[in-house]
Amino acid sequence: MKKLLFLPLVLALAAATAQNTPIHLIPQPVEIQQLTGSFALTKATTIGFDNPAGQTVADMLAQKLNAPTGFALKPQRALKSSIQLNLNSTPNEKLGKEGYTLDAGPKGVVLTANQPAGLFYGMQTLLQLLPKEIESKTPVQANWSIPAVKITDYPRFGWRGIMLDVSRHFFSKEDVKKYIDEIARLKYNTFHWHLTDDNGWRIEIKSLPKLTSVGAWRVARAGRFGERADPKPGEPTTYGGFYTHDDIREVVRYAQERNVTIVPEIDVPGHSMAALAAYPELSCTKNPDTKVNPGTHFADWYGNGTFKMNIENTLNPSDEKVYEFLDKVFTEVAALFPNPYIHVGGDECYKGYWKEDPGCQALMKKLNIRHVEDLQGYFMNRVEGILKAKGKKLLGWDEILEGGISPEATVMSWRGTKGGIEAAQMGHDVVMTPTTFAYLDYTQGDPTVDPPIYAHLRCKKSYSFEPVPDGVDPKYILGGQGNLWTEQVPTLRYAEYMTYPRAWALSEVYWSPKEKKNWEDFVQRMETHFARADAAGINYSRAIYDAIVRTSMKDGKLWLEMEAEVPGLDIYYSTDETMPDDHSAKYSAPVELPEGPITLRVVTYRNGKPIGHLITLSREQLEQRAGR
């Protein structure tokens, strides 16, 4: 009798616990209401779909559930199942193409959408409602329950992208597929594939075989990009790789199954050193010794955005053979990628070699062009004509605005938002991806902790991004994306480290309503996803727990200012050559630092436990920060 009386109490406590457990979803849905109770996932659970178009998502869901639970769930076409996936016969205009509703209760779960993409994104939310153990690839013991909720969700923007640069470092097709799978789970729908640059040509072009036999390979080098030694005469080119047509088709299919559109980038007319290593006759100097660059100091940057190339990396806009070459390239690229866009780069094009070239000067005279910079506009218009003939739209970085482009061209604004604002005001569609918020190759924490690179971007700053600038008509802003350049990113594991959690933050920027953004709330959900990433074997940065250290000079005195990115952290520091802990000086307000050759050491704590990296700065480094 006592056991019978005790059972309802246990069930009541379990229901109360489920009711009180916060729901931590990324990105945050448009509407979410937590209800009473939960749904228990068991081996008797059934998965059904009411329309054959929903079967792919149902199969994916079963596969994802079966691996960690050890169940053998098999989806079936049905009208009523424990977990039911339905497609609206009459579209719900509110949901659009990618929205969904999710109703979960003790009796079951119903996912409803207008199109399979909506079911796919609803599935991602459903999986996040399960405990973190659902991320395991092998069977584990867990309480497989889904809290009772009612969710209505749809994206703010239609373009939600991540760019991966595979030129600087080659990533295998399996790495690329894994990366696509990871971003798709965050409801990103665009994968921008940066396939060519100075450091490697990564896509097979059958009509131009040297692009991969020569352009895909470079000499092996260690050390930081930009500081490596030049290739030696006759040195074997052993580092690199490329994707065959079959590889590309396989990756495109994989992405399509996950509702991800792949946008290929062939970066021209600059960033073409790998192409010129294969076909040097397409440059102005026609230097037969041009090599695929392994990361040497091949350009001098002057700090104001201007630069000089020490090695030619630009196609010759006055040579008709260049356009014949590009026609061959884009013919094959267009056939492999079914999406409407081909990205043609257009960024950081050095025109010094054009200025000295007789053919370019003659072309300028013929076109009545006074400035060599205007040749890029001529080049881009020729490229756009090639793409239009193949049924494709031109997409490029914001430099393509400088020479004049057709109204149909789409602009990616990367040098801040200025280019995007100008493009939108001219009637161009725009993808906002400014360095100041969306460059995932920038360091995340203190530059003395993470391997340094030329700029810095905190997760909180990414989260604060607003893609629609004031005064701009939102209809021209397609959305935004994060960009991961890989000069300093040699492996997928490190690509993950650089991508997350900032891509989690940006996923919410691009998907969730602007009004729902709340950094403190996001931090709690992000920390839950740290545990989920651990279970999934996905790498990420914990730089959000590190102190932000700033200095300034006032009346000849060096002052220290610090803050924490995550609410509730305590910052402790020392300047007396001791290791700081929670008994050291606790930072609360700006501090005047002592004179002399001190070393500042800083560490963060939460609830009496160390949580951030130790940051160590010499007086010289502190003074340098004051001069920034």
Quick: pLDDT tens for 537-579. Answer: 999 999 999 999 999 999 999 999 999 999 999 999 999 999 9
Q: Which residue type, as a one-letter code, is found at position 275?
A: A
* Alpha helices in 92-172, H assignment, sequence order: 116-129
Q: What SS3 class is residue 341?
A: strand
By annotation, the residues acting in catalysis are 197, 271, 348
Q: Are 474 and 429 in contact (CB under 8 A)?
A: no
Q: Are 121 and 100 in contact (CB under 8 A)?
A: yes
pLDDT of residue 402: 79
- The answer to whether the CB of 481 falls within 8 A of the CB of 472 is no
Give me the pLDDT at residue 304, please: 80
For residue 161 the two structure tokens come to 């992208």
Question: Among 362, 321, 363, 326, which Cα is nearest to 346's?
Answer: 326
CA R_g for the chain: 27
Q: Are 150 and 181 in contact (CB under 8 A)?
A: no
Say whether pLDDT at 41 is over 90: yes
Look up residue 492 and give its amino acid. L
Is residue 349 within 8 A of residue 376, CB to CB? The reply is yes
How long a stretch of residues is the chain?
A: 628
* Assigned CATH for 14-153: 3.30.379.10
Is residue 499 within 8 Å of residue 163, measured between CB atoms? Answer: no
Selection from 385, 414, 380 nearest residue 397 by Cα: 414
Q: 109 and 89 in contact (C-beta within 8 Å)?
A: no
What number is the average pLDDT over the span 329-346? 97
pLDDT at 6 over 60: no
The backbone torsions φ and ψ at residue 248, rounded to the nearest 5 degrees and listed phi first, read -60, -50
Angle at which helices 375-389 and 358-367 pack, to 10 degrees? Answer: 80
Q: CATH second-level architecture of 159-543?
A: Alpha-Beta Barrel (3.20)
Question: Looking at residue 1, what is its pLDDT?
Answer: 44
Cross-strand partners of 411: 396, 430
* For residue 162, pLDDT beyond 70: yes
pLDDT tens, residue by residue, 241-269: 999 999 999 999 999 999 999 999 999 99
Q: Distance between CA atoms of 328 and 206, rounded to whole angstroms? A: 9
CB count, 10 Å around CB of 113?
30
Q: In CATH terms, are 159-543 and 546-626 the same topology? A: no
Q: Which is it for strands 477-484 and 430-432: parallel, antiparallel or unpaired?
A: parallel
Residues linked to residue 111 through DSSP beta bridges, in sequence order: 85, 102
pLDDT tens-place string over residues 49-100: 999 999 999 999 999 999 999 999 999 999 999 999 999 999 999 999 999 9
User: 3-state DSSP call for residue 564?
Assistant: strand
* Among 242, 241, 243, 262, CA closest to 252: 262
Starting at the earlier edge strand, list the strands of the sheet with 47-49: 31-40, 145-153, 100-105, 108-113, 83-87, 47-49, 76-77
Q: How many CB atoms lie within 10 A of CB 567?
A: 10
Alpha helices in 488-591 (DSSP H): 492-499, 502-511, 519-536
For residues 165 and 486, the answer to whether their CB atoms sit within 8 Å is yes
Q: Is residue 533 very low, low, confident or very high in pLDDT (cuts 50, 70, 90)?
A: very high
Q: Answer positive or negative: Cα dihedral of 83, 85, 90, 91.
A: positive
Q: What are phi and psi of 557, to 5 degrees?
A: -105, 145
Tell me the C-alpha distance between 9 and 451, whole Å: 54
Domain ranges of the chain: 14-153, 159-543, 546-626
Are 200 and 240 in contact by the 8 Å Cβ rule? The answer is yes
What would the pLDDT profile of 425-460 be if each residue is shown by its tens digit? 999 999 999 999 999 999 999 999 999 898 999 999
3-state secondary structure of 150: strand
Q: Tell me the DSSP string of 265-303.
A: EEEESSS-HHHHHH-GGGSSS--TT-----SB--EEE-S
CATH number for 546-626 (one of 2.40.50, 2.60.40, 2.40.160, 1.10.287): it is 2.60.40
Alpha carbon distance 164, 180 (integer Å): 10
Quick one: average pLDDT of 107-115? Answer: 98
Average confidence (pLDDT) over 279-289: 98
d(CA 247, CA 177): 11
pLDDT tens figures, 137-156:
999 999 999 999 999 999 99
- Give the 3-state DSSP-derived string for 152-202, with helices as H, strands as E and coil as C: EECCCCCEEEEEEECCCCCCCHHHHHHHHHHHHCCCCCEEEEECEECCEEC
pLDDT at 303: 80
Q: What digits encode the pLDDT tens for the residues 354-402?
A: 999 999 999 999 999 989 999 999 999 999 999 999 999 999 999 988 7
3-state secondary structure (DSSP) of residue 532: helix
Q: Average per-residue pLDDT in the chain? A: 95
